[in-house]
Amino acid sequence: MPNVDYEKELNKEQLSAVKTIDGPLRIIAGAGSGKTRTLIYRVAWMLEHGIDPRNILLLTFTNKAADEMMSRAESMLDDRCGNVTACTFHSFCVLVLRRYADSIDMSKDFTIMGTPDVIEAIDRIKSKLGYNKLKGMPKGSAIAGYISKSINMKRPIEEFLHNGDRVRAEDYAEEIKKVAREYKSYKIERNLMDYDDLLYFTEKLLAESPIVRNMTESKYQYVMVDEYQDTNSLQENILLLLTRNHHNLCVVGDDYQSIYKFRGADVNNIIDFKKKIPEAHDVTLHRNYRSDQRILDLANNVMKDHANEGIYKEMNSGYDFGQMPQLIQVDSSYDERDQVFQIIQNALCNGFTRSDIAILERSSFSSNLIEAKLTQEGIPYTKAGGLKFMEKAHVQDILAFLKCIANPHNEIAFFRALKKYPAIGDTFAQRISELIIKSGYSGLVENPYKKRAFYPDMVALKGKLEEWQQMDFPQVMESVEKYYSALCERVINEMKLEDESRRDELLSENDSHSEDFNTLNIMAKEHRTLTGFLDKLTLEVNVPTADDDALHISTIHSAKGLEFPIVIILDCADGIFPRVTCENEHSEDDEEELRCFYVAMTRAKNQLYMIQPEYATRYGHMEQVALSHYLTGEEEYFELVDETGEGFLGTAVVF
């Protein structure tokens, strides 16, 4: 068996956590502090000191994380690690329920429902109850979310009825509660369990059956939990029940990185751990192995000055790469795009690769302009947390209508545009577009389809196209977008749907496209003519080829757990990132946003750039926005650079 030198390979705090085996233990593992390494070495230490691997339970939030930990542990020791039970909470619950469910008069052969199954079941229940006819009744996915939060957080469902798509969900409280009750019966009658049920019934089983609890606890005498800050009330109760007698519960996490409240996570689980278990040992991992100290100085002080809850920790790395975090102030989102592109170009000129760079956004549409620029320049990128801008169907639809204006014989553009109309499928769209090759707009009306339901639309479209051709380009953009949105709304309203809530969902989705249309408008302002605009998007666009060396664009939540040499945070302005303003400082929402900001900052290893536009589009309107209040008072920890600042835009900048 390999000889592991724990003293040499671990720092003082990590070693203390690894050697503390018996009794409850909370490991506060700050960003980049090597928590995964600590857990792996802890497993190794336990095995080397005679603990049976079958008595060890390691709970994670993804199967990938569990597999990676055990793979690394096995490479460090031997195949004994394969006998450690390493799995997700839900997988563990399935294991217990398959074995003992009959102890609480439940069948062991239940079927697990995936998320699509849950939504389908709730939609059917809504239809059965006649609620699909209620205009504004929340959609099935929203109701599923209310039910899930109610179960996970062990609170009445009424507390979670926030604004629906078009009507306040509170207005349908009684109906939603009725759906929830029917959904519960639906599952029981069909021997089904959703993800929340797995947690709920495992807790019930452990609480109501001392025999099962003792048998399970005797098997898993050492329990470790990764990312404890992301646990909910049910998960916490399961752990406390599972370790009631031996108390060998080790939890690892960082309250500063608790950003999943919307999923039911309760940051107080880790904050109040010692209040609930006073005898628990405490170890804090302060050493950061990821970031430049200047980045950590900013992150540390932002949390120290603005957090109203949590466990303050001073993270230190000792690394000094020579550059302070930079706050770049620009006039608008358009200027933000140019600054980001310049940062990328400078980094590439100074030896970094594209995959070294991450652009982080609070909302998935913030990077639209940047994505368009990267596509134009042929720079490959990946995007996590949303669709790529130019690949969105409604963006391609708008461009199709614009191409029809620019070229009355563009068969391909007409084919896409025509399919947006009611009663026109692929067949008729193809036939009409073929006629257009020969006769242009006249092909819309000079055809054998005068008796078809869609013919009046063709007559109207011909008129609109001829009207658009006479407009100035800026007017064309505005008019086409309004026409397209109205057409989509009409199509949605004319749909025959079994569940009317689906209609509200589609209408809401149609409304949400305004941010993307605004991006197209901003891009169009660079051009005097429609032809010039389309040429820019086609002739000068270099389609990126598949490349492992791709730049990263990600929402904050999708970037959690990752690290990059260079991080660019977009839209550091109140109301955008964070989504709240300083007037709401220390509210629950503000604390959650603050933790998101901390996660974003601490993804950076070498360089951190934060960009603040003075004017930004919010809800379709250009507004003046203020600097994120998290950065107010932190000026000594970052360098302020405006878009005209000397040295920043020059290629001579050395990173």
* DSSP-based helix, strand, coil % in the chain, nearest 5: 55, 15, 35
Cis ω for the linkage preceding 578 (within 30 of 0): yes
Burial of 278 (0-12, 13-18, 19+ CB in 10 A): exposed
* β partners of residue 225: 59, 251
Apex CA 225: angle with CA 253 and CA 98, to 5°? 150
pLDDT of residue 223: 97
* Cα–Cα distance for residue pair 282/270, rounded to 1 Å: 11
For 237-292, the pLDDT digits (tens) are 999 999 999 999 999 999 999 999 888 899 999 999 999 999 999 999 999 999 99
Mean pLDDT over 384-406 rounds to 82
pLDDT band of 655, cuts 50, 70, 90: very low
The Cα angle at residue 218 between residues 212 and 224, in degrees rounded to 5: 105
- Is residue 398 within 8 A of residue 481, CB to CB? The reply is yes
More confident residue, 159 or 630: 630
pLDDT at residue 524, as a whole number: 80
Average pLDDT over residues 314-328: 89
Per residue in 333-344, pLDDT (tens digit) is 889 999 999 999
pLDDT at 387: 64
In whole angstroms, what is the distance from residue 523 CA to residue 477 CA?
11
* Total Cβ atoms within 10 A of residue 182: 17
pLDDT tens readout for residues 561-585: 899 999 999 999 999 999 998 888 8
Q: What is the structure's pLDDT at 407?
A: 86
> Quick check: 545 pLDDT over 80?
no
Residue 647 has pLDDT above 60, yes or no: no
Dist CA 243 CA 57 (whole Å): 11
> Does residue 534 have a pLDDT over 70?
yes
The predicted structure's pLDDT at residue 605: 95
Strands 551-555 and 615-618: unpaired
Closest listed residue to residue 506, CA positions, set 517, 490, 521: 490
Alpha-carbon span 163 to 354, nearest angstrom: 41
127: Cα within 13 Å, side-chain hemisphere: 11
Strand-pair category, 249-253 with 222-225: parallel
Q: Is the model's pLDDT at 652 over the cut of 60?
A: no
pLDDT band at 631 (very low <50, low <70, confident <90, very high): very high
- The C-alpha atoms of residue 445 and residue 140 are separated, in whole angstroms, by 42
Tell me how far CA of residue 267 lies from CA of 79, 153, 232, 264, in angstroms: 36, 12, 8, 10
- Supply the pLDDT for residue 69: 83
Residue 650 has pLDDT above 80, yes or no: no
Q: What's the N-to-C CA distance of the chain in angstroms? A: 44
Q: What residue type is 6 in one-letter code? A: Y
Give the integer Cα–Cα distance in Å for 440 and 445.
10
Stretch 1-7: mean pLDDT, rounded?
Answer: 77
Give the strand pairing for 564-569 and 604-613: parallel
Q: How far apart are CA 509 and CA 613, in angstroms?
A: 27
- Give yes or no for residue 487 having a pLDDT over 70: yes
Distance, in Å, from the CA atom of 86 to the CA atom of 69, rounded to the nearest integer, reads 8
Query: Tell me: the pLDDT tens digits for 80-95?
Result: 777 889 998 998 998 9
Among residues 259, 290, 284, 287, the alpha carbon closest in space to that of 602 is found at: 290
Q: Residue 225, SS3?
A: strand
d(CA 245, CA 243): 6
Confidence class for position 390, pLDDT limits 50, 70, 90: confident
Q: How many helices (H) and strands (E) does the chain have?
A: 26, 17
pTM of the full predicted structure? Answer: 0.77
Asked if 107 contacts 101 with a C-beta cutoff of 8 angstroms, the reply is: yes
- pLDDT greater than 70 at residue 486: yes
